[in-house]
Chains A and B, each alone.
Chain A
Amino acid sequence: MPADPLLPVLDRRRLLAGGAMALLAGACPQLAFARAATDRRFVFVIQRGAADGLATLAPTGDPAFAALRGAFADLDGGTPLGDFFTLHPALKQTAQLYAGGEALFVHATASPYRERSHFDGQNVLETGGRAAYALRDGWLNRLLGLLPPAQGKAIALSATVPMVLRGPREVSSYAPSGLPDASADLMARVGAMYAADSRLHALWTEAMATRDMAGDAAGRGGAQRGAQVGALVARMLAEDGARIAVVETQGWDTHAGQKGRLASTLGGVDAQLAALKAGLGPAWADTLVLVATEFGRTAAPNGTGGTDHGTGAVAWLAGGAVQGGRVVADWPGLRPADLFEGRDLRPTTGLDAVVTGALAAHFGLDPAHVARTLFPDGPPKPLEGLLRA
């Protein structure tokens, strides 16, 4: 019989009893294990919902870009990275990391998944398989097996352990008590789902109006929340804490109203990175952050001010360990013939190659061994030179 899906995460005593690592709730997490032998830290920020790489890091130097995106592109106040790319205006602090050589981007990247289901795409992103549900555990859990025990302490900042961390090796998860309100994105989707049901629609409309008056929905900017999350992760990764953390972010599935929503979600990640750097202090120098999504979005906007599910996307690497200040891309172009299936940014760099190359270098492991362990169904050729020598 499978473990109960609600019980383990609800009953925190089990985590305590498990002993490997358990975080106590509250403002000052105390961790129950000795100081790690090594100080390398890795944070994986998952962008659930398919983040738009062409908006995050716009290829403004590609003559086809303006034709595709035109006024839909949000470029005002963006930061030019070299003469080809422009970083989204909400990513001001990330731009500073880039300028300081502590952030790089890999553009036109993707997992091996080539269809357009979020669920299946996220399963491939996290299991490291070639197809959805081909593997039963996550690549980050398999990585733990390659690390010395003191280095292999991992935590997910969520109520349950995300797929990327699931597997035989013990990991922990922690969500601040008093979970946040349901996301604005979920609320919007629920409202749309109720549109044709006169009774639920009336109730929902009234409830949302009341909440707006009460100010519940307002004042919770992505940046404010992102900063809180970043500071919390930094505490988790403090001296006696975990060495590996997974953070899930939502709100990337921007089929409509993309400009405003993306500014908020990107601002959240931006604030999260800045708060993480501030919170880690000197440990930032030995830290690697990967921000990645299950797939990208269509090259052209749709008719509702958004974009639909696509393929190639952007992955971010940040931290003191990164050989930053660069955009790594084998640029595929944006002319109609260049696009994957005539609609999406064509992926030219395997995300698995990025993960393998970065993690092997970060933890001083044999890249080929890392490739076989993390991506056993199709070990990639590791992308080298992403981190400082």
Chain B
Amino acid sequence: MPILISQAPMSQAAIALNRFGLGARPDEPLPDDPRGWLESQFAHFEARPAAFAATPSRRDVAQQLADYYEATRARRARPAAAVAPAPPTPDGLPAMAAANLAGSPDETRKFIQGEARAAYLSLVEARVASALTTPAPFAERLVHFWANHFAISIDKLPVIGLGGLLEVEAIRPHLTGRFADMLLAVEQHPAMLLYLDQAQSIGPNSPTGTFLANRPNARRRPGLNENLAREILELHTLGVHGGYSQADVTEFARALTGWTVAGISQAPAARRIGLDGPAGDFAFAEPLHEPGTRSIVGRRYGQPGEGQARAVLADLAAHPATATHLATKLARHFAGDDPPRALVDRLSAAYLRSQGDLPTMYRVLIASPETWNPAPLRFKSPWDWSISAARAVGSRQIPGRMAAGLLTQLGQEVWKPGSPAGWDDLDATWAGPDALVRRVEAADRIAARAGTGLDARQLDPRALADRVLPGSISPATQAAVARAESPAQGLALLLASPEFLRR
């Protein structure tokens, strides 16, 4: 069915601000040179902006997690403890409990709702504040893009607090660098290692694996865990049709054994295999590593130790299938659900030509005619919409619990896509009837709350409309806003308008 869209064509400035950026702020000047403004942002992007100054450190969050596991372990060790049966952890590595409150012991509930939640909310607040105040909103949008590409989901207990740190520590520092470096930083980050169960994967023929297998009364075979290996191939690099087999997954999983996290388990066994470093640091535990040469996607890897999986990652990053996979996702994010083939090819070629230099890809996005189509190309996700609405009313900070609550209501709980595939970044995911009503209700609330402390004229929705969507407001929306019965209602209508819902 042809989609009839009532809104006016977007101006170049509106495209730069909204499709590339995170929405206009009334207190910032309009870009005179939209392409130049976007180009200039890579130099202004801050990997660790002030917004993150008060967030908890990885050490602190990981130590809280370690203390929680230690308390759980100690309780299980008490003979008389009458508690729900928990799976044994003979290998001394932490059990990765799902963050499901139903039926969990009080201490689990307390941890999830207490320390872990506090760390999460602090990071949500910082993420939002950074998005509201950044001098480089296009670059900031790309942070959100890569965070979704390398998605974790906080429905798993160990990543409630650590999940947001993956974005801060592994994605932001490499945003304007090479994809291969971002990939390595992500796969070695404790949040990813714990989320995809790599931390507890044991090579069957490794010293620890052999030892555990030979124990009398061994209740289970020590485990090779394929989760991370599979998702790296399927989601992070080659893509689902990227030309790898189940044998490649298993071989890659063997290569990854030994990649784990220090200081999370305080069991004696963990100490014995060298995991007693600072909590939350990446650790390579040689005693867990599967010895031998591996064959993965047509190449042989004879490197010893940690370097084996590193070498695999480097080759995966350089693979043409990875280039196509990343190019398709980036193109979709800016140019629509079914991105033009020419744009995908151009991005992919730029990636391969530059050895995976990310700014080279970003410049292709800026230079391509497909991303400057004056018709709106995307329906905003709840995150996009909420951030752009808060920016439009001049907000610079929103308490973490408020922001988290709003995004949950709108259907996109921060860092909780529910699977390592992340949010699927398709319009149909967000443009649903109930979702639309919720968005209008949220617009009503945001508009009712905006205004205190700002000059009434700054928030006059008639003026604001042209400020946030310069030259891009249809007569119908203009009329609806101007005829509103109050400034607050006019603002709500602006935030709910077809133009504001899309980018």
Contact = CB atoms under 8 A, between A and B. Distances in A.
Given A193-B476, A199-B3, A49 B485 contact: yes
A76 interface: no
Contact of A119 (B5, B402, B486): B486
Contacts of A9: 449, 452
A382 to B, nearest CB: 27
B393 A182 contact: no
Given A2-B455, A253-B484, 12 more contacts: A5-B450, A8-B452, A10-B402, A118-B486, A119-B490, A136-B455, A161-B452, A182-B440, A182-B443, A189-B484, A195-B476, A197-B7
A124 B460 CA distance: 14
A181 interface: yes
Interface in A158-214: 158-161, 163, 166, 175, 179, 181-183, 185-187, 189-190, 192-200, 203-204, 206-207, 210-211
A6 B398 contact: yes
Contacts of A175: 448
Interface residues of A, number: 56
Nearest to B462: A119
Contacts of B32: none
B395 A6 contact: yes
5 contacts: A5-B394, A5-B453, A122-B486, A159-B448, A179-B448
Contacts of A122: 486-487
A123 B399 CA distance: 30
Given A2-B394, A4-B395, A119-B460, A160 B451 contact: yes
A7 interface: yes
Contact of B453 (A3, A133, A186, A197): A3
Interface string B425-450: 00000011110110011011110111
5 nearest A-B residue pairs (beta carbon):
A49-B485, A3-B453, A253-B485, A207-B433, A196-B6
B4 A2 contact: no
Nearest to A173: B452
A255 B485 CA distance: 10
Given A5-B395, A186-B444, A160 B433 contact: no
Interface string B460-503: 11100000000000001100101111110110110011100100
Given A6-B395, A10-B398, A207-B437, A250 B452 contact: no
Contacts of B458: 2
Given A210-B434, A250-B485, A193 B497 contact: yes
Nearest to A47: B485
Nearest to A209: B433
A185 B486 CA distance: 12
Contacts of B459: 5
A6 B437 contact: no
A159 B492 contact: no
B436 A6 contact: no
A189 B451 contact: no
B456 interface: yes
B397 interface: yes
Contacts of A187: 440
Interface of A: 2-11, 48-50, 117-119, 122-123, 133, 136, 158-161, 163, 166, 175, 179, 181-183, 185-187, 189-190, 192-200, 203-204, 206-207, 210-211, 250-253, 255
A187 B7 CA distance: 19
Nearest to A202: B433
A204 B436 contact: yes
Contacts of A3: 452-454
A250 B489 contact: yes
A182 B450 CA distance: 15
Contacts of B486: 48-49, 118-119, 122, 250
Given A159-B445, A189-B493, A203 B5 contact: no
B390 interface: yes
A11 B402 CA distance: 9
A320 to B, nearest CB: 31
B5 A160 contact: no
B382 to A, nearest CB: 15
A113 to B, nearest CB: 14
B272 interface: no
B452 A118 contact: no
Contacts of A207: 433-434, 436-437
B28 to A, nearest CB: 13
B457 interface: yes
Contact of B493 (A11, A123, A159, A193): A193
B440 A190 contact: yes
B395 A7 contact: yes
Given A5-B454, A194-B498, A118 B398 contact: no
Interface centre among A163, A199, A253, by most B CB within 10 Å? A199
B396 interface: yes
A202 to B, nearest CB: 8
A103 to B, nearest CB: 25
A160 B450 contact: yes
Given A159-B448, A159-B449, A133 B457 contact: yes
A200 B483 CA distance: 20
Contacts of A195: 6, 476
Contacts of A252: 485
B7 A189 contact: no
A186 B490 CA distance: 9
| B398, B437, B457: residue with the most chain A Cβ atoms closer than 10 Å | B437
Contacts of B498: 193-194, 197, 200
Nearest to B446: A6
Nearest to B492: A186
Nearest to A216: B437
